[in-house]
Amino acid sequence: MMRRRSTTPTEDLFLLASRLPWWVSVLIAAAAWFALQPIANSQPAAIADLHEFSSLVSGQVFCAFAQLGQLLLPPIFLVGSFASVIGRARGANTIQLGTTLGGQLAAV
């Protein structure tokens, strides 16, 4: 029994984007950009005492992940939409052969 090759989350997202219609992938890319933009560009609030330090750190970590997502998700989905267009164009140009009930090959 062969083991399935493990994939990274980036490969999984690209595969998902390439299987979706191209316009859905473009919408997801735009939505990811515009949804993560205000989070990634937010400024940390000033802390009054040291008891608020943990909320400051957690907020900065959240902003860092938003910046990373803003830079990675849109290109992945845009390249996936391009792959979707190419894949569908290739699929439309191929002739699928099938067999008829009599066992003869026929273009389907």
Confidence (pLDDT) at 107: 47
Note the pTM of the prediction, 2 decimals: 0.71
Amino acid at site 29: A
| Burial environment of residue 22 by CB neighbours within 10 A (0 to 12, 13 to 18, 19 or more) | buried
Task: For residues 80 and 73, give the distance between their C-alpha atoms in angstroms, rounded to a whole number.
Answer: 10
- pLDDT tens-digit series, residues 8-49: 888 899 999 999 999 999 999 999 999 999 998 988 777 777
Task: For residues 68 and 47, give the distance between their C-alpha atoms in angstroms, rounded to a whole number.
Answer: 25
Element holding 106 (H helix, E strand): strand 105-107
